[in-house]
A and B are shown apart, each in its own frame.
Chain A
Amino acid sequence: MQEHTNAFEPDREINSVLATDCGSTTTKAILIEKVGDEYRLVVRGEAPTTVEAPFEDVTMGARNAIREIEELTGRKFLNDQGVITPTQPDGTGVDIYMSTSSAGGGLQMMVAGVVKTMTAESAARAALGAGAIVMDVISVDDGRKSHEKIQRIRHLRPDMILLSGGIDGGTITHVAEIGELISAAEPKPRLGIGYRLPIIYAGNKHARKHISNILGEKTDLRIVDNLRPVLEMELLGPAREEIHNLFMEHVMAQAPGYNKLMEWTPIPIMPTPGAVGACMQTASSEYDMSVIGVDAGGATTDVFSVFGEFFNRTVSANLGMSYSICNVLLEAGVSNILRWIPFSIEEGALRNRIRNKMIRPTTIPQTLDELIIEQAIAREALRLAFEHHKSLAVGLRGIHRQRTIGDTFEQSGSGETYIDMAELGMLIGSGGVLSHAPRRAQAAMMLLDAFQPESKTMLAVDSIFMMPQLGILASIHPKASMQVFDRDCLVKLGSSIAPVGPNGSVKFGEPCLKVTFDFEGETIEESVPFGSLKLVPIPENKTTEVVIHPARHFDVGRGYGHDLETTVNGGVVGVIIDCRGRPVALPEDVQERNLKLVEWFIAMNMYPEESLRKYAQI
């Protein structure tokens, strides 16, 4: 572990925090201070990241971002050594400084296990949860021949490998076989041409000696507790901890300037996605609800979910809104993108436009058409990333489990996804396309269309993407982290009410939901037919009691046709009654679909109405 010169004392009172996130293109700094009894965001600054040539020193970007904060506050936080800590009697400095990082490509890992759907999957979960991009998952039964696996391992240059396999006391042959393949491939690390590749072994403890014999000399081998000591149990903590240690010792230590940055802070630098995951987990526990979060970036889309005790993160490494936008086109297909666009556009022209966004990724939509196209692509990127997430966010496979009448949920023990959209309490979006949408209703609609939450769900976006900093802050001061998260980070868009169904033949326009709001002494009644959307303007930070009466073919969580009495939250968009069905029913006929899209967009006040009416010629 890196020796920190600036040791953190857990009992020290913290009144001010400076935190940076060194992203691949931008370094973002935030200043948090205690104002009265509350921690609040005071100011933020940003500057280009300086990991790449010609600067090759991450602290330059961090200094520039902090300097912006100095200029905005008129106070001094930096000296020649770095950030001044703790706060000095003359008012300079802050009580603590911390940082996250995804610069230089983040943390790139390869994982290996014996059985693809068991130990290899657990290893992938450990790596993803620690904030890594998983480049490949190798297993004995992955369908590739030995020489193909060896070629693949040789070709990849990961930052580290996580090797698992076998339960403690089980056969060691298979995990040894994977170890031998890795040994034969002689993998090389991505950074540092002359270094030995770090390998974490988290498999059958009885195979440790053999693994040491074959990998001990060739690689930088670390041995931790088995991540599947018995079939029924997944123990990811020790492997994740070692990943973080190696991230600091190996990856960060070789990235330009990080040795200096590490000396500025008493808290180990966290990989950005790992910190976002920590933020989501804290939020889930603080709000006492299940949470799904998504970060739609230019190159990748990360999805996080916290359902009860289960936390999962997935990275869709090639689903992004700029650099990998063509992969969205490739995976989703043109027709799936076109289904969200309410005007006609030639397929070839659309393809060329998407390619041109890929090669000039920093451009922004100038016209309404361009904005609608970009948001259509975003829906598909988010949908695909969520599909990917659901396939990995599953209970442990390989366990024989006796089901009882009390098993009301699909999760746990059977390898089925535990993502239950009816149970979801909050859906949080972040990333430029969601956070910077010109109207917040656009972000709400992208989340609704891509994730299709059911029953009642709070929708929110991260205003300025400070979840990484709040995630690392949560590791030492969850209260401060959550106060800022709730008041300054989240923009609450409003609750959505969306019935599941229809479970029979129901036509657009037939009754679906009747919702009675009891808002500030006034009773509001809304009847929304199937195939329609309705926006009820309940403002941010207001809640209201509602009684929801679904028609007999629809279910809002109490069974088909059964009423639900609950509380919903207002937001900058309002309460959205989404009666388009689950899955969302889109007309097959293009003309009919375009009219329906325009109707929905107008109902949500998403775009200028005059322009939308032109599309529909109504």
Chain B
Amino acid sequence: MAHAYTPGLKVTEKAVITKTRRLPILGEVLVEKGQAVSPHTIVAKTDIPGNPQTVNVANVLGVDPEDIVDFMKKSEGDSVKKGELLAEYKSFFGLIRHHVESPTDGTIEMISSVTGQVTLREPPVPIEIDAYVDGIVEEVLPKEGVIVKTEGAFIQGIFGVGGEAQGVIRVAVDNPGDVLDASCIKEDDKGKILIGGSLVTADAIKKAGELGAKGIVVGGIIDTDLIDYLGFDIGVAITGHEDVPVTVIITEGFGKMKMADRTFGLLNELNGFKASINGATQIRAGVMRPEIIVPGYEAGVRSDLLDLTKGLVPGTPIRIIREPYFGILAEIVELPPELEVIESEARVRILRARLEDGTVVTVPRANVEMIEG
């Protein structure tokens, strides 16, 4: 393979970000190209056909399906109100009477003389899509939605739960190795996006939710704490639709994991800024990672950043993402071109990296990621 390493997660103070905001079915776009939008600006809307409901009229009336038309009080296309008479059957001079009332407001869509069923369509359900971030409408996708463009800081996490949210960033710990526990959460954290260090505790997530915080960004989480928070286990890495009060984004992985200095440093600089976040994660072709976007952040000139566009080269800062050095940050020392046999006896492409304590170790290239700028 051309790239035998995991492309890193973006952690950058200045990026051009585009977000496609698309309706699930065709509808109407409400904004124009070039228009400035804020996160809550409705950019497109549509009406999803209402829920259908079926009523087996033939069964209720006790008649053959092919006869129900004779007993219907309404026709296809008619509007009905909940409780309104749909069909009626009388015999023995009215002594035996069966009738069917509409279970909902709606329209009669189909009267089937094959099954004896009547299908009612509830009123359409309006769906609106907002802009999610502060930005400019870059492109209008006719009847489908828009592409919103913004500039600012952009940080990707590795895994998240919970959907889109907006809030003001507050760094709640002093160091990237600190644990974000309940004591770090303040009474005035309503609407905030809280930044932790190596771990968030179950109590802290609970308290943040109770106080109305919007998000938590942290290095790691214990697997069972996440399950407790969600109320169910995650089998497949598709998230973002969980009904949870606080969107949680982890930047490093599961377990107690110090947040990368670069990520923590940038989040510190963004303290007090308004951000849009999304926990949605999908790990497959077309990978989607959780994100923190701070539109409008003007980065100062940083001279300490390396040029990371060349891929893996000696000097590139990396994070090791598998045992036995999982979560450790390092710097590439050497990239031997030939395959080497590692402890598991696999012959793979490797690199040598210097850990923070100065030790040089051998790691498969597949097990590192760049901390991308």
Residues of A at under 8 Å CB distance from B? Answer: 24-26, 46-49, 51-53, 103-105, 146-147, 150-151, 172-173, 176-177, 180-181, 183-186, 188, 193-194, 207, 210, 214, 299, 318, 322-324, 326-327, 329-331, 348-349, 351-353, 355-356, 358-371, 436, 438-439, 607-608
Contact = CB atoms under 8 A, between A and B. Distances in A.
Contacts of A146: 54
Given A324-B235, A358-B283, A359-B283, A193 B26 contact: yes
A24 B237 contact: no
A186 B117 contact: no
Contacts of A329: 235
Nearest to B22: A193
Given A49-B285, A323-B236, A364-B364, A184 B6 contact: no
24 contacts: A150-B51, A183-B110, A184-B119, A186-B49, A193-B26, A193-B144, A214-B112, A299-B284, A324-B237, A327-B236, A356-B255, A356-B321, A358-B237, A359-B158, A359-B281, A362-B6, A364-B364, A365-B346, A366-B324, A367-B324, A368-B344, A368-B345, A370-B322, A371-B346
Interface string B329-340: 000000000000
A349 to B, nearest CB: 8
Nearest to A186: B49
A184 B52 contact: yes
Nearest to A207: B114
A360 B6 contact: yes
B114 A52 contact: no
B222 to A, nearest CB: 7
A180 B54 contact: yes
Contact of A351 (B223, B283, B345): B223
A363 B285 contact: no
Contacts of A607: 345
Nearest to B65: A173
A472 B357 CA distance: 54
B344 A367 contact: yes
Nearest to A608: B345
Where chain B touches its partner, the secondary structure class is loop
Contact of B54 (A51, A184, A330, A371): A184
B287 to A, nearest CB: 9
| Most central of B109, B158, B222, B367 by chain A CB within 10 Å | B367
Interface in B125-161: 144, 158-159
Contacts of B222: 348, 352
Given A327-B235, A352-B222, A353-B323, A438 B346 contact: yes
A326 B235 contact: yes
A103 B284 CA distance: 11
Nearest to A176: B114
Given A360-B322, A363-B366, A184 B109 contact: yes
A33 to B, nearest CB: 25
Contacts of A103: 285
B363 interface: yes
Given A147-B52, A185-B52, A438-B347, 15 more contacts: A176-B112, A299-B284, A318-B236, A326-B234, A330-B233, A355-B253, A358-B237, A360-B158, A360-B253, A364-B322, A364-B344, A364-B348, A366-B324, A368-B343, A370-B323
A438 B235 contact: no
B238 to A, nearest CB: 9
Interface in B342-370: 342-348, 363-364, 366-367, 369
Contacts of B253: 352, 355-356, 359-360
Nearest to B366: A364
B237 A323 contact: yes
Interface string B107-120: 00110101111010
A246 B119 CA distance: 29
Contacts of A331: 235
Interface string B234-248: 111100000000000
A365 B236 contact: no
Given A24-B284, A318-B236, A177 B117 contact: yes
B346 A352 contact: no
Q: Name the 7 nearest CB pairs between A and B, nearest first.
A: A327-B235, A184-B52, A438-B345, A355-B254, A371-B344, A352-B254, A363-B322
A617 B285 CA distance: 44
B285 A25 contact: yes
Contacts of B51: 147, 150-151
Contacts of A52: 285-286
Contact of B25 (A193, A353, A368): A193
A51 B342 CA distance: 34
A48 B2 contact: yes
Nearest to B326: A356
Contacts of A327: 235-236
B117 A366 contact: no
A326 B25 contact: no
Interface string B298-327: 000000000000000000000001111010
B234 to A, nearest CB: 6
Contacts of A177: 115, 117
| Most central of A103, A318, A351 by chain B CB within 10 Å | A351
Contacts of A326: 233-237
B1 interface: yes
A607 B344 CA distance: 8
B35 interface: no
B224 interface: yes
A25 B2 CA distance: 13
Contact of A176 (B115, B224, B321): B115
A324 B236 contact: yes
B53 interface: yes
Nearest to B327: A356
A366 B322 contact: yes
B110 A184 contact: yes
Contacts of B367: 363-364, 366
A330 B344 contact: no
Contacts of B1: 26, 46, 48
Nearest to B369: A360
Given A193-B25, A351-B223, A366 B364 contact: yes
Contact of A365 (B284, B285, B322): B322
A195 B219 CA distance: 44
Interface in B262-305: 281, 283-286
A346 B230 CA distance: 23
Contacts of B369: 360
Nearest to B235: A327
Given A184-B52, A327-B235, A366-B364, A348 B158 contact: no
Interface in B87-127: 109-110, 112, 114-117, 119, 121
Contacts of A299: 284
